[in-house]
Amino acid sequence: MTVNALPATTFPGSDRFYALLDAAVALGEPEATTDALRAALESLIRDPAVQLPEVVRTPVAGHYARRELYRSPVHGYSVVAMTWGPGQDTPLHDHDGRWCVEGVWQGELDIIRYELLETDGERARFRTAGTLRAGSGSAGSLIPPHEHHVLRNPHDDAVAVSVHVYQAPLVRCARFRHDGDDWYVREQCCLTVDPGN
């Protein structure tokens, strides 16, 4: 896979951080890779020697922050740290057909999963498939076609930080705007990153 590399952001423990991610992604097969990435993130989050850059603890007013830490020139994956101010969330969205592993580094996030029932042109019908409150130290994965979800910081007085490892840089996705009952309108979205690395 060819990818425009982004030099690795360095921070205390970053050598171990990237080495564990490289070893997991080198496995190749999506289920084995995402299993290994979940275990790697859980280990890294709990390791006091690994300290993400201080900027990832700073929220951005008006939206959750996306700060890309790395794009692997060898394996093609991307690492994005997200900062969730009090009550910040995503719309219902997909990951453009890519697997992803998400680990909560600080605070808590609600993950609301959706099951795609049918599509009708630019509309899609979903059913809520469950909500999970993920705390610091936990990690989960999404493998298409099971990739539709909402992430939300459930607290109005705390910041949350999560780390997301994407199969390839996630520069676009589909967002879904509620259109009555179980129906949503699909809207293509270009994703950007916030400054600060």
In a domain, 80, yes or no: yes
Query: 127: buried, middle or exposed (CB in 10 Å: 19+, 13-18, 0-12)?
Result: exposed
Query: 190: buried, middle or exposed (CB in 10 Å: 19+, 13-18, 0-12)?
Result: exposed
The total number of structural domains in the chain stands at: 1
- For residue range 139-182, what is the model confidence (pLDDT) as tens digits? 999 888 889 999 999 999 999 999 999 999 999 999 999 998 99
In a domain, 4, yes or no: no
In a domain, 135, yes or no: yes
In a domain, 48, yes or no: yes
In a domain, 197, yes or no: no
In a domain, 7, yes or no: no
- For residue range 18-59, what is the model confidence (pLDDT) as tens digits? 999 999 999 989 999 999 999 999 999 999 999 999 999 999
Query: Domain range holding 156?
Result: 14-190
First CA to last CA distance, the chain: 25
Average pLDDT over residues 72-84: 95
